[in-house]
């Protein structure tokens, strides 16, 4: 069932493309261009149902933000889908071990996104 998703990606064009796909699937979304901005919002606002999180970003990486999200029990229900431009099985296993629910490679395919959102 569609809900609210936050896209955390420093590439605005990529984030907007993912947002378009979310809209097609019936999801509402917000875009954050940095983990810091998303973290501030997470501390002040109701959390989203899903966070779509780019792995490689300047200053704070997606893996660090994932650890921040998973460090608080009040966010344990938030599904986190990691996004990266390069597939590496060891990296996928590491991120799933840190608490990610899914791992997608860019460019994101609509059907794969839909499966990752559903679980």
Per residue in 14-59, pLDDT tens?
999 999 999 999 999 999 999 999 999 999 999 999 999 999 988 8
Q: How far, in Å, CA of 105 to CA of 20, rounded?
A: 17
Sheet hosting strand 50-54, strand order edge to edge: 28-32, 4-8, 50-54, 79-84, 102-105
Q: How far, in Å, CA of 110 to CA of 18, rounded?
A: 9
DSSP state of 47: P
> What pTM does this model have?
0.95
> pLDDT band at residue 119, thresholds of 50, 70 and 90?
confident
Per residue in 57-112, pLDDT tens?
888 999 999 999 999 999 999 999 999 987 889 999 999 999 999 999 999 999 99
3-state secondary structure of 86: coil
Sketch out the chain's domains with CATH numbers. 4-108 (3.40.50.2300)
């Amino acid at each position: 069932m569609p809900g609210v998703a936050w896209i955390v990606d420093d590439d605005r064009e990529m984030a907007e493309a993912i947002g378009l796909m979310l809209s097609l699937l019936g999801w509402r979304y917000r875009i954050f261009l940095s983990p810091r901005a998303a973290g501030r919002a997470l501390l002040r606002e109701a959390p989203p149902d899903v966070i779509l999180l780019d792995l490689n970003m300047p200053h704070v990486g997606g893996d660090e933000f994932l650890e921040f999200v998973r460090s608080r029990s009040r966010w344990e229900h938030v599904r986190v889908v990691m996004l990266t431009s390069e597939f590496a099985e060891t990296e996928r296993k590491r991120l799933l071990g840190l608490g990610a629910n899914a791992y997608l490679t860019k460019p994101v395919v609509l059907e794969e996104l839909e499966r990752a959102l559903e679980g």
